[in-house]
Amino acid sequence: MSKRITTYRPGFLARLLPAGRWTLVIDRSRSSLIRLKSGTDVDLRCLDVTSISVSKALLWHTVEMRSRNRVDLLSCLGEESATKLAADLYTFINHHLSELIGSEADSLSVVGEKLRVITDGQRQYLAHTDLARAVASVPGNAAVALSHPLFDPELMPSHLRGALPQSLALLTDPAARGRYNDTFVHAEFGRYRRFFDDLDGRSLSDQQREACIRLEDNNLLIASAGSGKSATMVGKVAYVLDKHLYRPDEILLLTFNKTAAEELRERISRQLRVEPEQLECKITTFHALGRGIIEETDGKPPQLADWVEHPAGEARVIEAIIDELVRSDTDFARLWINLLVIHPKADIPAEAFDSKADHDRYLSVRRRKGNVTIGTLAGIYVKSLQEQSIVNWLWLNSVAFEYERQIPIEEEDGSIRHVHPDFYYPASDTIHEHLAINADGLS
């Protein structure tokens, strides 16, 4: 990307398609802006671009550029062209971010001091937004650049990177925040041992304690029924309130049914030693929350549409919505086509059947009514619709694989046994055996 002005657009034939009628210009004399011509000319601020990604459709690749108030799809590109465009955009934006940081080098010490305030003494877990909030409180473009979602310290000039305060490593080194948080969690285990030993009349496991202490922007807790998810929610609420990280009226807990919400409200009230009606945390169901928001904004409760109770009403409405979105939203059209390509046939999962015999009968009927062989986009034949979906996804995402490759394995007695795993990935030298399992984890 050495030329002063670089123009990107699809090839001649691709420009005949509606999705291919765009031109993007990077002008290094205007380092803060990206010019996009697609029907109308638009100057996109580098600071407003929050995400750049490449996706593969059936015929071409698309670069998706997300900004703060819009999404632009640069379609009809070959794989090499799409990859280069995404990389050039990423580099161009980071060049601008480095310029902003370098132009206000004096303010970096203020940013560093803000970060030291929240890290000294390891008083709290640090999510990405905690760092961004601290940096954003410092006026000036350098702080904005440092907290930008596409900021990559590896693309900073070496002299500028070397001049950064040591505390900025939490922003410039992805592993630094992880090390800080791991150390914090380990120390917090000791500080809050007695707290978690007797929480709502029970002692939380180490995994539950870690789930309470880790306060990322998004936390995914995966657990089976009866394994203590509700106890963990009670523990997390009690923990953040004990540390005065949030006020009770800033906490919202949602459940799928009213019984679970009432149970959670009672348990949290008991832990906090307040009456349920005095609890300031909002605990409700998804349905009740949505209904309440509608009533508050519209001034009346929601009314069901007249097609709800019609036998074919729902299918017709969904079909009409899909047709409209395919015509009006190129992003949806691409995702919809990908879905139909990856999952060309609906498949009822094994766990939906009462017995293995019922599932076998279902598969037998499908084979009799349809083609015995199951083809894929990769040009190979597989043994199940689930394997078809996997192969189609791997092919669409350009993941190199081999299906049922013969692999020799040495037994303990020195003999060689050959196995044929469903998938082999040469890039990582790993095998992938696909097993259909039910809700109990049984195949």
Residues 318 and 361 in one domain: no
Residues 207 and 254 in one domain: yes
Residue 345 lies in a domain: no
> Token pair of 321, please?
């919505």
Inform me whether the pLDDT recorded for 47 exceeds 90: yes
Strands 423-425 and 282-285: unpaired
Count how many domains the chain has: 5
How confident is the model over 297-319, as a mean pLDDT? Answer: 77
Position 438 scores a pLDDT of: 56
User: In this structure, are residues 319 and 291 in contact, taking their beta carbons and an 8 Å threshold?
Assistant: no
Inform me whether the pLDDT recorded for 3 exceeds 60: yes
pLDDT band at 440 (very low <50, low <70, confident <90, very high): low
CATH of the domain at 44: 2.30.29.30
Separation between Cα atoms, residue 213 and residue 242, nearest integer Å: 12
How confident is the model over 166-185, as a mean pLDDT? Answer: 85
Residues 55 and 135 in one domain: no
Residue 211 lies in a domain: yes
Residues 291 and 205 in one domain: yes
Which of 229-233, 243-247, 341-345 is predicted least confidently?
A: 341-345
Residues 201 and 214 in one domain: yes
How confident is the model over 394-419, as a mean pLDDT? Answer: 85
Inform me whether the pLDDT recorded for 230 exceeds 60: yes
Residue 173 lies in a domain: yes
How confident is the model over 190-213, as a mean pLDDT? Answer: 92
Residue 96 lies in a domain: yes
Residues 80 and 10 in one domain: yes
Position 443 scores a pLDDT of: 55
pLDDT band at 290 (very low <50, low <70, confident <90, very high): very high
Position 369 scores a pLDDT of: 56
Residues 163 and 93 in one domain: no
Residue 123 lies in a domain: yes
Which of 225-239, 270-284, 377-391 is predicted least confidently?
A: 377-391
Position 74 scores a pLDDT of: 94
This prediction's pTM = 0.58
Residue 35 lies in a domain: yes
Residues 122 and 218 in one domain: no
Which of 14-28, 131-145, 168-182, 366-380 is predicted least confidently?
A: 366-380
Residues facing residue 55 across a β-bridge: 62
User: In this structure, are residues 251 and 272 in contact, taking their beta carbons and an 8 Å threshold?
Assistant: no
Task: Express as a percent the part of the chain with pLDDT over 70.
Answer: 92
pLDDT band at 254 (very low <50, low <70, confident <90, very high): very high
Inform me whether the pLDDT recorded for 195 exceeds 90: yes
Separation between Cα atoms, residue 91 and residue 6, nearest integer Å: 13
Position 281 scores a pLDDT of: 93
Burial class (CB in 10 A: 0-12, 13-18, 19+), 232: buried
Residues facing residue 402 across a β-bridge: 424
User: To the nearest whole number, what is the mean pLDDT of the chain?
Assistant: 85
pLDDT band at 129 (very low <50, low <70, confident <90, very high): confident
How confident is the model over 86-108, as a mean pLDDT? Answer: 90
Inform me whether the pLDDT recorded for 318 exceeds 70: yes
Residues 197 and 276 in one domain: yes
Residues 137 and 205 in one domain: no
User: In this structure, are residues 240 and 125 in contact, taking their beta carbons and an 8 Å threshold?
Assistant: no
Residue 343 lies in a domain: no
Burial class (CB in 10 A: 0-12, 13-18, 19+), 224: exposed
User: In this structure, are residues 404 and 421 in contact, taking their beta carbons and an 8 Å threshold?
Assistant: yes
Separation between Cα atoms, residue 361 and residue 352, nearest integer Å: 13
* Domain endpoint, select from 51, 68, 101: 101
Inform me whether the pLDDT recorded for 393 exceeds 80: yes
Q: Phi and psi (nearest 5°) for 410?
A: -85, 125
What range defines the domain where residue 325 resides? 313-338
Residue 113 lies in a domain: yes
* Domain endpoint, select from 67, 101, 135: 101
* Domain endpoint, select from 101, 118, 135: 101
Position 58 scores a pLDDT of: 66
Separation between Cα atoms, residue 236 and residue 141, nearest integer Å: 36
Residues 123 and 202 in one domain: no
Phi-psi region of 264 (alpha: psi -120 to 50; beta: other; left: phi over 0): alpha
* Predicted confidence (pLDDT) per residue in 339-376, tens digit: 777 776 666 666 667 677 777 777 777 666 555 567 77
Residues 294 and 200 in one domain: yes
User: In this structure, are residues 6 and 26 in contact, taking their beta carbons and an 8 Å threshold?
Assistant: yes
Write the DSSP symbol of residue 201. T
